[in-house]
Structure 1
Amino acid sequence: MNREEFAARIDHTVLGPETTLADVKEVLDEATQYGMNACIPPCYVAEAADYAPGVTLATVVGFPHGQESTETKRAEAEFAWHDGADELDMVINVGRLKAGEDEAVQHEIEEVVAAVPVPVKVIIESSLLTNDELHRACQAAQDADADFVKTATGFAVGGATVEDVREMSEYLPVKASGGVGSYAEAMAMFEAGATRIGASSGVEIVEGYPDDEEEETDEEASDD
């Protein structure tokens, strides 16, 4: 995986409650410069699509707690897609999962997946789940034809772990999100089976790519 391929697997993220359009534009500028994707609040998607049409835009549905009605989540997904979102990251209703309402969780994911012709990533808040719940959540996402499972919103306690990513990757491609702030941490997630990273530290992660080490190795090989 070269630097360009590495950067294309990073969703550079700004989703805080105080996020302004200026903050979003800064993230879009950085995503453009470094070749990353961007994950932004849904209220800015239309403006972001106009501002940076070359950047793959992800936005969120049911964020951050996943407790909206299924109808609301479906409508959010449709609005986001019409505004220009290329991908959607939806939060499951963790309470329903913990109550054993797996069919309701799967149905809700199915409704969002059916509402839009773009990839849907399912945020399961892995740090809040038991191992059994983790597997049930991933199974629901897989059975609902989602495209990814994602570890966390970043708004609950805990985030991505190598162990969770490894188990989640048995079901669907994984977006590791929550607490990934360096190149080394990102690589640990990729090695565990993640195919995408979500992080507000996208610039730091990509700048950590060891270009200099690779160039030195190439030069040494040439000298030999």
Structure 2
Amino acid sequence: MIEKNINIDIATYIDHSFLKPTATPEDIEQCCNEAQYFGFPTVCVYPSAVSQAVKLLHGQKIAVCTVIGFPTGANTSSVKLYEAQEATENGATELDIMINLGQVKAGSSEEIYNEISAICEATGQTIKVILETNLLTDTEKRLAAEICMDAGANYLKTCSGWFGGATVTDVRFLNNISQGRVGIKASGGIKTLEQAYELIEAGATRLGTSHGVALVQSQNG
């Protein structure tokens, strides 16, 4: 087991996520309150909760992130673009976009590039593209990562959490591809401090998790 790492402040890595389909306004309020109390840099909520989160966090140095085309990525590009623009108008400053996995499997580089670059250009926000690494081969991961970086993405994100979680192997793989060009967001199934440390040491610069409170309490305990 990895010992407590005094050089890593876990709280500063957390995208505090509440992406349950049953999320209520009370859940979103609790999520935002936890982010303020524990010092998380970001909350990640569904598009319908963006306006509420923005109001709750007004004046705080906490970004509001939302998901686009989530969780399958199978929406048309125009729908994703509208969703991204609306979220931005509602105050979201970070967008986690689900890539079109069928296009990745088909090697449709131009279509993937056009979709991601259009959202980057139209919104001007921090863009994290979800690759769903558990469903891709290494060749497909590399293709998707390189296209997204060329299209203007700021982060490569491992998973939505719906089809498996982040692995050290995938984070290290994406980090080797990116060579520092973009950040790496590990997401899905991050429940223990040991997992968090391992992912950070592999190259993760963000951790998307609904277990941020437990992680911080574990580190501080």
Residue by residue over 1:94-142, the C-alpha shift from the partner in whole angstroms, topping out at 9 and shown as x without a partner, is 0111011122111111111111121000000000000100111101111
Equivalent pair of 1:9/1:195 in contact (CA under 8 Å): yes
Deviation of 1:93 (Å): 0.4
Structure 2 unaligned regions, length at least 5: none
TM-score, normalized by length of structure 1? 0.90
CA contact (8 A) 1:4 1:35 kept: no
Separation in structure 1 between the aligned mates of residue 86 and residue 52 of structure 2, nearest angstrom: 13
CA change 1:205–1:3 in 2 (3 A) is farther
Equivalent residue for 1:41, pick from 41, 46, 50: 46
| Counterpart check, 1:141 vs 2:148 | yes
CA apart distance, 1:4: 8.8
Q: What TM-score, normalized to structure 2?
A: 0.91
Q: Does 1:132 align with 2:139?
A: yes
Checking the alignment, whether the CA contact within 8 Å between 2:47 and 2:66 is kept in structure 1 is yes
Aligned residues: 210
Q: For residues 28 and 3 of structure 1, what CA distance do their matches in structure 2 show?
A: 26
C-alpha distance in 2 between matches for 1:202 and 1:115:
31
Indicate which of 201, 207, 210 corresponds to 2:217. Answer: 207
CA–CA distance in structure 2, aligned partners of residues 190 and 88 of structure 1: 21
The one-letter code of the counterpart of 2:47 is P
Equivalent residue number for residue 161 of structure 1: 167
Give the match for residue 8 of structure 1: 12
Q: 1: CA distance between counterparts of 2:47 and 2:150?
A: 26
Alpha-carbon distance between aligned partners in 1 of 2:90 and 2:12, rounded to the nearest angstrom: 22
Choose from 167, 179, 185 the match for 2:189.
Answer: 179
Question: Displacement, 1:2?
Answer: 6.2
Tell me by how many angstroms 1:3 deviates.
8.1
Give yes or no for contact 1:62–1:91 (8 Å, CA) kept in 2.
yes
What SS does structure 2 have at the residue aligned with 1:152? coil
> Is the contact between residue 39 and residue 57 of structure 1 (CA under 8 Å) also seen in structure 2?
yes
CA contact (8 A) 2:10 2:215 kept: no
Query: Structure 1: any 5+ residue segments left out of the alignment?
Result: 213-224
Correspondences of 1:32-181 after superposition (within 5 Å): 32-36=36-40, 37-53=42-58, 54=60, 55-156=62-163, 158-169=164-175, 170-171=177-178, 172-181=182-191
Paired with 2:65 and 2:193, the residues of 1 have a C-alpha distance of 21
CA offsets per residue over residues 167-206 of structure 1, 9 Å max, x none? 1113131100011112211111000000000001010111
**Are the aligned partners of 1:160 and 1:180 in contact in 2 as well (CA < 8 Å)?**
yes
